[in-house]
Structure 1
Amino acid sequence: MNTLLTQGIHIPQLGFGTFRMPGGDCQPAVESALEVGYRHIDTAEMYQNEAAVGAAIAAAALPREALHVTTKVWHEHLGPGAIERALESSLAKLGLDYVDLYMIHWPAAGMNLPAALQVLEAQRQAGRIRAIGVCNFNLPLLRLAVEEVGAAIACHQVEYHPFLDQGPMLAYLRSQRIPLVAYAPLAQGRAAADPTLARIGSKHGASAAQIAIAWLLDQPGVIAIPKAQRRASQVANLQAVNLRLDDQDRAAIAALPKGQRFVTPPFAPRWDA
């Protein structure tokens, strides 16, 4: 598995997402993912499955340094003292002394971003987190964090798949040498049914979903975190790292409609800002 080095940590390029995977279903799914070879697990306090993720990690009995674990602080917990309490709770549920990456899950209206990032940096220096990240920031917010606050942002997690253009965001992140972590990389299941991706897949002996993942991993500085509860799907997603697309494949995917955003909560920032 390729890893991307950023802010002193190595992040496996293909991770295992756990969004909308409640506790009862989450532990066996994560145990299976670790058994088949995943070493990058992505969770969040909002997912309400950190305890299940922690139990799966404990059951796997892998060396802690062999794992990359990401969790996130919810946008309602960015005020004074709240980040520290949220992190303490996450670590306790995960059963870990530290997480590799701790991220602001969504920006909050009226948040004091410099203060929040300063708290994260203090926690990094204290050894409770190894690196800092942000999720779902638009370009102005990201520039504020990187250029004005000067935060050591290790990566930025946003929705990204073959049906959504992230060109301007990718260009900025690459200029700053910050990886993009693609969530919803299968467009919440839509990629699996896309005829263009299926046609490319038939050429490579692969599924449409595998092509969607391979397309993301084909791009410099991009990490993908697909979710899969079934072991067969977990293995299939993992096998996508071995696919090699050609220029014809890339052109066909580039021609797909690119304005389809599927994660649009009411508190999301303005993406056109």
Structure 2
Amino acid sequence: MHLPSVGLGTMGIDDPEPVATALSLGYRHLDTARIYGNEAVVGDGLAEGLAASDVDRDEVTVATKLWVDDLGAADVGPTARESADLLGVETLDLLYVHRPRGAYDPVETLPALDRLVDEEVVREVGVSNFEVDQLDRAIDTLDAPLAAHQTELHPLFYRPELLEHAREHGYTVVAYSPLAGGRVSEIDAVVEVAEAHDATPEAVAIAWATAKEPVVTIPKASSEGHLRANLAAAEIELTPEEVAAIDAVEREEELFPE
């Protein structure tokens, strides 16, 4: 699945305007989730953005995630259809299992997702916050190819084994919280690289993530200035030495543990 280097994460966004503005600036990947409670807001922003531009709906990847309560075999279909209605789309471009817990059972949940692909309710299937063994089980169980794995990835939390698995199996890694919850400006290695490029630490954090194949990012932003800056960050080219310096940052615990 082809996804742009920078998409829009929408957790906490409760106004359609940032979504519409993002589309006008060139964003073509919108990411939300059932648990965010804002699928209708994102859908309104999508509709406004499409109406105000010459962007075709097919150019925009609209992604959402089934929460742990929605993963029973009988719940997957109705919940996905409700999400599509809230988002105002006929087809969900990418539907994730948000976390492999709660009602998640690979032999029940994943075939239900396959049925949604067959019924053209969903175009592509993804998973989020999975471990390597859970990824292997998902790939073995799904009929549809695994399109993406969404995982926390930023200079303070980086798991190379997940990227290597993605390379081996040909799916995209979608990095959430690439700005480490606003903490990247406190990381010396990131600040030093930013100074060398006359860029912000936030821009360098995105550039560092997108330098890692096959990673794309979905930073959240609400203001037009931040939306523009995040989109432009993927154009920064870091040297291998700069990437290695950030790789060597002493890691801390993840922001969103299980």
Give the TM-score range, shorter chain. Answer: over 0.9
CA contact (8 A) 1:114 1:149 kept: no
Q: The residue matched to 1:107 in structure 2 has which SS?
A: coil
Cα separation, partners in 2 of 1:58 and 1:109, compared to 1, 3 Å? closer
How far does residue 150 in structure 1 lie from its aligned partner after superposition?
5.3
Q: Which residue of 1 aligns with 2:43?
A: 54
Change (3 A) 1:151 1:129: closer
- Secondary structure of the residue aligned to 2:123 is coil
Please report the TM-score for the alignment, with normalisation by the length of structure 1: 0.89
State the Cα distance separating 1:55 from its structure 2 match: 0.6
CA contact (8 A) 2:72 2:103 kept: no
Cα distance in 1 for residues equivalent to 2:236 and 2:73: 46
Q: Structure 1 CA distance, aligned partners of 2:208 and 2:198?
A: 15
Find the residue that maps to 1:163 and give its secondary structure. Answer: coil
Name which of 70, 74, 78 aligns with 2:71.
78
**1:65 maps to 2:30:** no
Partner in structure 2 of residue 88 of structure 1: 81
Q: Which one-letter code corresponds to 1:222 in the other structure?
A: V
Report the 3-state secondary structure (helix = DSSP H, G, I; strand = E; otherwise coil) of the residue aligned with 1:261. coil
Structure 1 residues 117-138: Cα deviation after superposition (integer angstroms, max 9, x where no partner): 1111111111111100000111
SS at match of 1:130: strand
User: Could you say which residue in structure 2 is the equivalent of 1:32?
Assistant: 21
TM-score (norm 2): 0.94
Verify the 8 A CA contact 2:69 2:103 in the aligned structure 1.
no
Tell me which residue corresponds to 1:193: 186
In structure 1, the partner of 2:7 is: 15
Q: Which amino acid aligns with 2:111?
A: Q
For 1:81-123, what per-residue CA distance to the aligned partner results, in whole angstroms no more than 9, with x for missing partners? 2111111110111111011100101111463212211111111
Give the alignment's Cα RMSD to 1 decimal: 1.4
Structure 1, unmatched stretches of 5+, are 1-5, 269-273
User: Aligned partner of 2:21: which letter?
Assistant: S
Q: Structure 1 residue 196: deviation in Å?
A: 2.0
Q: 2:130 aligned with 1:130, yes or no? A: no
> Within 2, Cα distance between the matches of 1:247 and 1:198?
16
C-alpha distance in structure 2 between counterparts of 1:115 and 1:67, whole Å? 30
Q: Equivalent pairs: percent with the same residue?
A: 33
Structure 2: 5+ residue stretches without partners? none
The secondary structure found in structure 2 opposite 1:236 is helix
Amino acid at match of 2:238: L
1:271 matched to which residue of 2? Answer: none
Report the alpha carbon displacement of residue 167 of structure 1 after superposing the two structures with TM. Answer: 0.9
What amino acid sits opposite 1:195 in the alignment?
Answer: D
Q: How do residues 124-273 of structure 1 correspond to structure 2 at under 5 angstroms?
A: 124-149=117-142, 151-264=144-257, 268=258
1:31-76 superposed Cα distances (whole Å, 9 cap, x missing partner): 1111111110001111111111111111112311111110111111
